[in-house]
């Protein structure tokens, strides 16, 4: 799946960036007959944020490229979305940018008997994400993280 993910990112990122947006992340879920490709886009204009029209524009352009390149052989649904306030973190750079944020992390395989952790992002060390959980620093290789999602704060 990592190969498919890289292939999709290589096709989609230039399209998204050429339209003036930032590719936040990609999720591809193969679900038997009907798979789903979800693309998260963000904007540098944080005041404006991502609007429905932005998602529509990106969806049309990405759909055209995917139709031509045909990297997904089975049927799939394309969805374009903003990362939202409970955004997922996909890259090491995103973990650095969100240092200090509280996150829920789900691992691909258990660590110390658990797959789910909730803690504060401290940063990164090499290719590891540093998470503070119950006053303990834990290092998780980025490849071991299945999903990490920011817990929104409304103060």
What is the secondary structure of 45-113 as a DSSP string?
A: -TTT---HHHHHHHHHHHHHHHHHH----S-EEEEEE---TT-B--SHHHHHHTTT-EEEEEEEEEETT
pLDDT at 47: 76
Report strand pairing: 35-42 vs 76-81: parallel
Domains and CATH numbers, the chain: 2-81 (3.30.300.70), 92-150 (2.30.30.100)
Is the pLDDT higher at 4 or at 54? 54
**What's the confidence (pLDDT) of residue 74?**
81
- Does residue 30 have a pLDDT over 90? no
Predicted confidence (pLDDT) at residue 100 exceeds the cutoff of 90: yes
What is the token pair recorded at 132?
Answer: 């503070």
Stated pTM of the model: 0.86
Lowest mean pLDDT across 3-7, 130-134, 149-153: 3-7
pLDDT tops 60 at residue 147? yes
């Amino acid at each position: 799946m990592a190969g498919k993910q890289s292939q999709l990112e290589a096709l989609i990122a230039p399209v998204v960036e050429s339209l003036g947006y930032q590719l936040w992340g990609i999720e591809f879920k193969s679900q038997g007959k009907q798979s789903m490709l979800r693309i998260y886009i963000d904007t540098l204009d944080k005041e404006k944020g991502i609007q429905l029209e932005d998602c529509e524009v990106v969806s049309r352009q990405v759909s055209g490229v995917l139709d031509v390149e045909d990297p997904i052989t089975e049927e799939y649904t394309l969805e374009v979305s903003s990362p939202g306030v409970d955004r997922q973190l996909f890259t090491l750079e995103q973990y650095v940018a969100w240092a200090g944020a509280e996150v829920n992390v789900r691992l691909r395989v258990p660590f110390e008997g658990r797959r789910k952790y909730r803690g504060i992002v401290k940063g990164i060390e090499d290719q590891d994400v540093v998470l503070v959980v119950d006053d303990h620093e834990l290092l998780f290789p980025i490849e071991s993280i299945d999903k990490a999602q920011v817990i929104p704060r409304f103060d």
